[in-house]
A and B are shown apart, each in its own frame.
Chain A
């Protein structure tokens, strides 16, 4: 069934003289190019791109697409990153010409519908987070983290305070310390306690006047809600610091609890995970941020405001950090988030979180019988099981990876493995609310089955895919990152 001819490299499919797109003849004066532009600026020949006809291109990319797993085709229990169903109506509605073909520098009077929608979305995100200041500009979750930390830096500068340290728990996403450094802070790691929550004693030991921000992921990457969060916020606030909430896991608490109500001063959303944005094989995302009122003046410029019946972009923000990207933001992604929020409504959003948590706990209740879940019988949106036992039982070096790879043969995407770093041979499993009990049962059965399979079968898995176990060491050592003519 596989069409391996069509999936040869574009450059191997190329034949001189083939064309995919032909442009109309020039309908205005058509002088030679060197009459318009200086000869030394012109290339002798166009770039050496491949030459293909439209049918070549269509068959090539259609066949390539079939080599991917996707949410439309498969279950992705990819903890922390996970993907929920991407509604088709959002695609259609975000693709209306009145959104898709709007130029970013059109006069405001010509984009009132768009500005109204973005203004409303700012309000929805503020209400869901309990934090009133909103910027839709950041292009991804990590970009939102960075923008928010820059807001914090500007806030402290404005107050004449020199605070140089950002604290992150050891269970945090790698983006947290990386963002802290890019915002000019030193990053210091706080160990987690045995229960997977922040070690309060360790935190107290670090708290002093140098601390700018404590970054907390809550619910955290173990799928636990840290009930100490209000106490942590009090401790940090008492020393003049700010609390940043990594909102990766907002999908667990929609309408149940709000970051602004549990002490957070700044946060970002990951709309792909919380508000059903498609991930496009690795982006685009968006990373809107919400902040407390005293931080609002420092948000990126512009923000959408309403002046009577007129919506406007407010550029007059003298204390703003400026811009973190050109133009307004990832509007296409924000439109989908808007559609999702309007489709769910307040009750529906709460049901999203209730069912995400129900599905995760149900799966946990099935998995814990054959793979230990070190942090207990209850979780929020995800849980982390340990495959460490298989190291001893089967002599596997990387049992979590092997199980994940073998699950691919059963038609399931692998869980996130070896993260968080605090659990040995971690399998981080997040089902989302958009999966059925039957799918969860089938997944649990497949995981049970593969965890009993032979070391050989696991070590060489997957067996049903077109390729298996790429040599990543050679890839990194030789770094062949483009096609070359052989």
Chain B
């Protein structure tokens, strides 16, 4: 095995130095009756050449955004990733390094973390960011827990049904074991009517969780929601699309107290949902309640500027059961990619990307709804995603047929929203061309002329 360096001669010399006769003797502390008395039932070892063929064969059985035209969204997007992101993040000094526990030999990672935190603050307008969490869904939960800790209100967390349904599920999973009620305000119009929220928020409420643009792509009336939350002494946790901030008002200006986001769209590939990048940023006064790692600036013993992991007394390896969270890792490599991506785009690039998304999404929506079969499901402004309804009621069949024709046409909403079983969530990024949009609309509007087995 090429990853083990010990030769048989090395092994003999080492066993002799230890003072044992065999490798087996090294395991004498494991009682015989607990030993596995057979080889593991796993396939035999593959050489690199064999493994390459095997992996290529399996990978070839998947459609992907390179082989198909992708109009899928819902928290994961086919945005353009500049080559420099891949080239720099592939440096072994980044991706094979460990958590920066020894700052003297980790200044590269620590400075990049500090730059990431700064960029996230610039993007959101918030005061402080941590060095990242697992993903947007778990970051949303951590924001709720932070809010409960800051407000000292364990009673209630209020969210709305236009928050990503899987984020809602993660919240429900975490809160199931805590004495906290999760209230979900319905959003039948695809956009929250703030007065509906007012009835759900009370003096026990730790926070209101709102997504903007929401899961359906719609813009929410964030300022009105912030007012309702603040009047009750609750925090507003705003879940955002980081790329939208190239054109939309920054969350701080809208009244957000905590900002959460999925950072996949910032230079990270879709890879079937992970690893992704959980972004969390908040007001200065909550910094000691923030979960996860934070890089801080300081000076060394000779007065040189440098960076360390800081405020570690919040964390599990010091505080154990009293820590702000059990989280141990951040998503260092993905945060690094986001840092490189934002450095490459800069303010103008981010604005261009966001503007292209908005224009192309609106164009696509007009194009498809020009066909009488497809209608917009919800009124109101949208950013890069929108929901369309198939008046023919053939969403599953149409999606399967489109896939067979090389188009990933949209995300059927039936899995999460039975009322929207005839609807498709469509995302249009800056990568989609006029021709692709036309083809997509033609395929969606065309007849279902073949029976395609649908497993979706």
CB distance from B310 to the nearest CB of A (A): 4
- The answer to whether B301 and A475 have CB atoms under 8 Å apart is no
Stretch touching chain A among B230-238, B348-356, B371-379: B348-356
- Residues in B whose Cβ lies below 8 Å from that of A413: 98, 102, 105
- Residues in B whose Cβ lies below 8 Å from that of A256: 27, 30, 35-36
The closest CB in chain A to the CB of B71 belongs to: A103
- Residues in B whose Cβ lies below 8 Å from that of A9: 111, 115
CB distance from B453 to the nearest CB of A (A): 7
- The answer to whether A482 and B117 have CB atoms under 8 Å apart is yes
- The answer to whether A325 and B170 have CB atoms under 8 Å apart is yes
The closest CB in chain B to the CB of A20 belongs to: B344
- The answer to whether B169 and A178 have CB atoms under 8 Å apart is no
- The answer to whether A37 and B114 have CB atoms under 8 Å apart is no
CB distance from B77 to the nearest CB of A (A): 8
Stretch touching chain B among A64-72, A288-296, A388-396, A449-457: A64-72
- Residues in A whose Cβ lies below 8 Å from that of B58: 98, 113-114, 116-117
The answer to the question of B178 belonging to the interface, with a C-beta cut-off of 8 Å to chain A, is yes
- The answer to whether B42 and A341 have CB atoms under 8 Å apart is yes
Tell me which of A60, A70, A180, A472 contacts B308 (CB under 8 A): A472
- The answer to whether B167 and A404 have CB atoms under 8 Å apart is no
Q: Which of A42, A49, A180 has the most CB of B within 10 A?
A: A49
The proximity string for B residues 97-134 relative to A, scoring 1 for CB distances below 8 Å and 0 otherwise, is 11111111111110110110111011101001101101
CB distance from B140 to the nearest CB of A (A): 9
The answer to the question of A30 belonging to the interface, with a C-beta cut-off of 8 Å to chain B, is yes
Give B63-116 interface residues, CB cut-off 8 Å to A.
Answer: 63-68, 70, 72, 74-76, 78, 80, 82, 84, 87-88, 90-109, 111-112, 114-115
CA distance A364 to B26 in the complex (A): 12
- The answer to whether A481 and B308 have CB atoms under 8 Å apart is no
- The answer to whether A282 and B330 have CB atoms under 8 Å apart is yes
Known: A68-B93, A103-B408, A227-B29. A19 touches B346 (CB 8 A): yes
- Residues in A whose Cβ lies below 8 Å from that of B348: 19, 46, 51
- The answer to whether B14 and A362 have CB atoms under 8 Å apart is yes
- The answer to whether B97 and A69 have CB atoms under 8 Å apart is yes
Tell me which of B68, B301, B353 contacts A471 (CB under 8 A): B301
- The answer to whether B46 and A47 have CB atoms under 8 Å apart is no
CB distance from B139 to the nearest CB of A (A): 9
The answer to the question of A426 belonging to the interface, with a C-beta cut-off of 8 Å to chain B, is no
- Residues in A whose Cβ lies below 8 Å from that of B313: 476
CB distance from B240 to the nearest CB of A (A): 12
- The answer to whether B320 and A174 have CB atoms under 8 Å apart is yes
Tell me which of B1, B177, B321, B329 contacts A150 (CB under 8 A): B177
- The answer to whether A29 and B363 have CB atoms under 8 Å apart is yes
- The answer to whether A89 and B135 have CB atoms under 8 Å apart is no
Known: A42-B249, A325-B135, A480-B297. A98 touches B62 (CB 8 A): yes
The answer to the question of B370 belonging to the interface, with a C-beta cut-off of 8 Å to chain A, is no
The closest CB in chain B to the CB of A51 belongs to: B346
- Residues in B whose Cβ lies below 8 Å from that of A103: 64-65, 70, 72, 76, 78, 270, 272, 408
The proximity string for B residues 155-191 relative to A, scoring 1 for CB distances below 8 Å and 0 otherwise, is 0000000001011011011101110000000000000
CB distance from A7 to the nearest CB of B (A): 7
The answer to the question of A408 belonging to the interface, with a C-beta cut-off of 8 Å to chain B, is yes
- Residues in A whose Cβ lies below 8 Å from that of B87: 58
- The answer to whether A330 and B3 have CB atoms under 8 Å apart is no
CA distance A36 to B386 in the complex (A): 13
- Residues in B whose Cβ lies below 8 Å from that of A20: 82, 84, 343-346, 349
- The answer to whether A93 and B51 have CB atoms under 8 Å apart is yes
The closest CB in chain A to the CB of B324 belongs to: A178
- Residues in A whose Cβ lies below 8 Å from that of B255: none
Q: Which of B271, B350, B359 has the most CB of A within 10 A?
A: B271
- The answer to whether B122 and A49 have CB atoms under 8 Å apart is yes
The closest CB in chain A to the CB of B107 belongs to: A67
State the interface size on chain B (CB cutoff 8 A).
208
- The answer to whether B84 and A54 have CB atoms under 8 Å apart is yes
The answer to the question of A466 belonging to the interface, with a C-beta cut-off of 8 Å to chain B, is yes
- The answer to whether B4 and A178 have CB atoms under 8 Å apart is no
The answer to the question of B250 belonging to the interface, with a C-beta cut-off of 8 Å to chain A, is yes
- The answer to whether A331 and B271 have CB atoms under 8 Å apart is yes
- The answer to whether A21 and B345 have CB atoms under 8 Å apart is yes
Tell me which of A28, A50, A227 contacts B363 (CB under 8 A): A28
Known: A107-B399, A322-B169. A83 touches B114 (CB 8 A): no
Tell me which of B61, B96, B273, B339 contacts A104 (CB under 8 A): B273
The proximity string for A residues 92-110 relative to B, scoring 1 for CB distances below 8 Å and 0 otherwise, is 1100111111111111111
- The answer to whether B76 and A49 have CB atoms under 8 Å apart is no
Known: A38-B381, A69-B102, A327-B273. A437 touches B29 (CB 8 A): no
CA distance A315 to B306 in the complex (A): 48
The answer to the question of B17 belonging to the interface, with a C-beta cut-off of 8 Å to chain A, is yes
- Residues in A whose Cβ lies below 8 Å from that of B363: 28-29
CB distance from B104 to the nearest CB of A (A): 4
CB distance from B343 to the nearest CB of A (A): 5
Give A404-431 interface residues, CB cut-off 8 Å to B.
Answer: 404-405, 408, 413-414, 416, 419
- Residues in B whose Cβ lies below 8 Å from that of A329: 273-274
The answer to the question of A351 belonging to the interface, with a C-beta cut-off of 8 Å to chain B, is yes
CA distance A117 to B125 in the complex (A): 42
- The answer to whether B78 and A475 have CB atoms under 8 Å apart is no
CA distance A52 to B400 in the complex (A): 43
CB distance from B350 to the nearest CB of A (A): 6
CB distance from B447 to the nearest CB of A (A): 19
CA distance A215 to B307 in the complex (A): 35
The closest CB in chain B to the CB of A284 belongs to: B275
CB distance from B9 to the nearest CB of A (A): 9
The proximity string for A residues 348-371 relative to B, scoring 1 for CB distances below 8 Å and 0 otherwise, is 111110110111011011100000
The answer to the question of A128 belonging to the interface, with a C-beta cut-off of 8 Å to chain B, is yes
CA distance A33 to B246 in the complex (A): 12
Give A156-208 interface residues, CB cut-off 8 Å to B.
Answer: 173-175, 177-185, 187
The closest CB in chain A to the CB of B262 belongs to: A326
Tell me which of A41, A76, A333, A350 contacts B248 (CB under 8 A): A41
The closest CB in chain B to the CB of A327 belongs to: B273
Give B1-53 interface residues, CB cut-off 8 Å to A.
Answer: 1, 3-6, 10-11, 13-15, 17-20, 23, 26-31, 33-36, 39-46, 48, 51-52
Q: Which of B66, B109, B343, B437 has the most CB of A within 10 A?
A: B343
The proximity string for B residues 262-280 relative to A, scoring 1 for CB distances below 8 Å and 0 otherwise, is 1000000111111110000
Known: A62-B91, A358-B6. A469 touches B123 (CB 8 A): no
- Residues in B whose Cβ lies below 8 Å from that of A37: 219, 247-248, 358, 381, 383
- The answer to whether A150 and B72 have CB atoms under 8 Å apart is no
CA distance A85 to B91 in the complex (A): 15
The closest CB in chain B to the CB of A56 belongs to: B343
The answer to the question of A445 belonging to the interface, with a C-beta cut-off of 8 Å to chain B, is no
- Residues in A whose Cβ lies below 8 Å from that of B455: 107-109, 310, 312
CB distance from B94 to the nearest CB of A (A): 5
- The answer to whether B29 and A225 have CB atoms under 8 Å apart is yes
- Residues in B whose Cβ lies below 8 Å from that of A182: 145, 174, 177, 325-326
CB distance from A483 to the nearest CB of B (A): 4
- Residues in A whose Cβ lies below 8 Å from that of B306: 467, 470
Q: Which of A46, A50, A67 has the most CB of B within 10 A?
A: A46
- Residues in A whose Cβ lies below 8 Å from that of B96: 70-73, 83, 86, 278-279
The closest CB in chain A to the CB of B68 belongs to: A110
CA distance A342 to B112 in the complex (A): 34
- Residues in B whose Cβ lies below 8 Å from that of A10: 115, 118-119, 339, 343
CB distance from B273 to the nearest CB of A (A): 3
- Residues in A whose Cβ lies below 8 Å from that of B209: none
The closest CB in chain B to the CB of A340 belongs to: B3
- Residues in A whose Cβ lies below 8 Å from that of B319: 174, 178
- Residues in A whose Cβ lies below 8 Å from that of B172: 322
**Beyond A282-B99, A469-B104: 6 further Cβ-contacts under 8 Å?**
A31-B359, A37-B247, A71-B98, A109-B403, A178-B321, A468-B301
**8 interchain residue pairs of minimum CB distance:** A327-B273, A98-B59, A280-B333, A345-B45, A184-B177, A113-B61, A72-B92, A284-B275
